[in-house]
Amino acid sequence: MMTNRIYFLDHLRTFMIFLVVLTHAGMTYESGFDNFWIVSDPAKLNGIALVRLYLDLFVMYTIFFISGYFAPPSLSGKTTSEFISSKFHRILIPWVVAVFTLIPAYKFIYLHARGLPQEPWFTYFHVFRLQDGDPYYFPHNPTQSWLWFLPVLFLFQVLYVFIARTGILKIKFSFVAALALTFFIGVISSVIIAQFGWSGWTHTAIFDFQRERLLTYFLVFLLGTLSSSKNVFSEGEGRLTFMIISNIALGIGLAAYTLFALNLFNNMLHPAQAHFYLSALGDRIVFYASALISMFGFLYLILFSFQRSFNKFYSILDRINPNSYYVYLIHMILLGIIAMLLVPLHLPVWVKYILLAALTFIASHSLVLVTRNYFPRLVPRRMDWVILVMALLLSGYVFTKNRDPDIKLSAAIGPSPPNLHDAAIRNDLATVAYSISTGQPLDTPDPGSGSNPLTTAIVFGRNEIARALINAGADVNFQDRGGSTPLHAAAYFCRTELVQVLLENGADPSIRNFDGLTPLEVVSDSFENARSGYDYFQETLGPLGLKLDYAYLERTRPQIVKLLMRN
The enclosing domain of 429 has a CATH number of 1.25.40.20
Minimum mean pLDDT range among 36-50, 201-215, 295-309, 404-418: 404-418
DSSP 207-232: -EEEHHHHHHHHHHHHHHHHHHHTTG
The reported pLDDT for the residue numbered 269 is 46
Identify whether residues 29 and 130 lie together within a single domain: yes
The reported pLDDT for the residue numbered 381 is 60
Identify whether residues 344 and 427 lie together within a single domain: no
- Answer yes or no: are the C-beta atoms of 424 and 460 closer than 8 Å: yes
Q: What is the pLDDT of residues 228-250, one digit of tens each?
A: 888 877 765 456 677 778 888 88
Total structural domains in the chain? Answer: 3
* Segment 263-281 mean pLDDT: 65
Q: Is a pLDDT exceeding 50 seen at residue 388?
A: yes
Identify whether residues 35 and 157 lie together within a single domain: yes
Identify whether residues 129 and 186 lie together within a single domain: yes
pLDDT-based confidence at 83, cuts 50/70/90? very high
The reported pLDDT for the residue numbered 272 is 46
Identify whether residues 230 and 172 lie together within a single domain: yes
Identify whether residues 231 and 241 lie together within a single domain: no
| CA dihedral sign, ordered 91, 94, 96, 101 | negative
Identify whether residues 65 and 186 lie together within a single domain: yes
Q: Is a pLDDT exceeding 80 seen at residue 415?
A: no
**Maximal CA-CA distance, the chain:** 95
Identify whether residues 113 and 208 lie together within a single domain: yes
Which of 479, 539, 487 has the alpha carbon at shortest distance from 508?
487
The reported pLDDT for the residue numbered 560 is 93
Q: Is a pLDDT exceeding 60 seen at residue 413?
A: no
pLDDT-based confidence at 416, cuts 50/70/90? low
The reported pLDDT for the residue numbered 7 is 86
Q: Is a pLDDT exceeding 90 seen at residue 71?
A: yes
Which regions of 268-347 does DSSP assign to beta strands (E)? none
The reported pLDDT for the residue numbered 312 is 86
Residue 76 lies in a domain: yes
Identify whether residues 126 and 147 lie together within a single domain: yes
SS3 511: coil
Q: Is a pLDDT exceeding 80 seen at residue 46?
A: no
pLDDT-based confidence at 384, cuts 50/70/90? low
* Segment 506-529 mean pLDDT: 92
Domain carrying residue 355: 2-235+313-401
* Segment 140-166 mean pLDDT: 93
* Segment 388-407 mean pLDDT: 69
The reported pLDDT for the residue numbered 450 is 82
* Residues contacting 63, CB < 8 A, separation 6+: 13, 16, 17, 20, 149
Domain boundary pick from 366, 401, 436:
401
Identify whether residues 333 and 283 lie together within a single domain: no
Identify whether residues 227 and 333 lie together within a single domain: yes
Domain boundary pick from 249, 279, 308:
308
pLDDT-based confidence at 2, cuts 50/70/90? very low
* Segment 97-101 mean pLDDT: 92
Q: Is a pLDDT exceeding 70 seen at residue 156?
A: yes
pLDDT-based confidence at 274, cuts 50/70/90? low
Q: Is a pLDDT exceeding 80 seen at residue 407?
A: no
Q: What is the pLDDT of residues 454-492, one digit of tens each?
A: 999 999 999 999 999 999 999 999 998 889 999 999 999
Residue 406 lies in a domain: no
* Mean pLDDT over each residue of the chain, to the nearest integer: 86
Give the C-alpha separation, 355 to 3, whole Å.
Answer: 34
Residue 413 lies in a domain: no
DSSP 335-372: HHHHHHHHTTS---HHHHHHHHHHHHHHHHHHHHHHHH
Identify whether residues 427 and 392 lie together within a single domain: no
| Type and span of the H or E element at 454 | helix 453-459
* Segment 259-285 mean pLDDT: 71
Q: Is a pLDDT exceeding 80 seen at residue 397?
A: no
The reported pLDDT for the residue numbered 378 is 56
